[in-house]
Amino acid sequence: MTPRTRLAFPHPLSLLVGSVLVAAALPPSLTAQEPEAVYRARREALVRTWVEPDGITDSATLRAMRTVLRHRFVAPELRYLAYEDGPLPIGYGATISQPYIVALMTQAVRARPGTRVLEVGTGSGYQAAVLAEIGCRVWTIELVAELATSARRRLRELGYAAVEVRHGDGYRGWPEEAPFDAILVTAAADSVPPALLAQLAPGGRLVMPVGPSEGLQHLLLVEKDPDGSRRERRLAPVRFVPLIRP
């Protein structure tokens, strides 16, 4: 099935204003203090309504999407939106990706227990948590120091203490831990950074949005064959914030 168009990461300010307007119209029962059973039911509805119908069939990915507490990765006042299929602002001009996009990227790299994964763009830590829930070994890099600190703390609190979080330049990757079986980049660039391609293991997969910072991009899957040659395929049209350097 061809996925529906996902424009990930709209302008954070416009999204936040829209969220505040929606919050003002909500009944008092929809608050940040919903019982866990309600959040669990919403996760299930999210997967059944938005994730499975658009071609996400990998059982490990679907199980992780049903398990990871996405509402813990957003601000309390936005938790009522945590299980809608949309991005949400997390501060510092960043957002948490749409659940469908997280699932698509996770499925694309064929995440499995023991898979060595590099993530560029930690954000709130949600994508890293999904990978860790599957059993991957995850190294994740975040340019914004405050986001790196809060993501590290959040991941530990939720039991994903094995995820390694680094504050630094994602363009450089994490050379001392390379090679990686999978690399996910959660911000867009005009092309895949050479250092990341070099750190991808033979037989590995890299997925990232490629295209102009202002305009439509494409989620690109790069597969490195055992002989070092590469194959590329576009997965879906998207819109991500740009991958920036210090």
Active-site residues, by number, are 97
Helix %, strand %, coil % for the chain, to 5? 40, 25, 35
What phi and psi, each to the nearest 5 degrees, are found at residue 166?
-125, 140
Longest alpha-carbon distance in the chain: 59
Tally Cβ neighbours within 10 Å of residue 207. Answer: 23
The token duo for 92 is 């510092």
* Residue 183: closest CA among 197, 202, 169, 165: 197
Helices 59-67 and 126-134, axial angle in degrees (round to 10): 120
CA distances from 142 to 115, 146, 195, 199, 245 (A): 20, 9, 16, 17, 11
What does the alpha-carbon distance between residue 23 and residue 16 come to, in Å, rounded to a whole number? 10
The token duo for 43 is 């996760």
Element (H, E) at 107: helix 99-108
What does the alpha-carbon distance between residue 118 and residue 135 come to, in Å, rounded to a whole number? 14
Residue 234's SS3 state is: strand
Which amino acid is it at 222? Answer: V
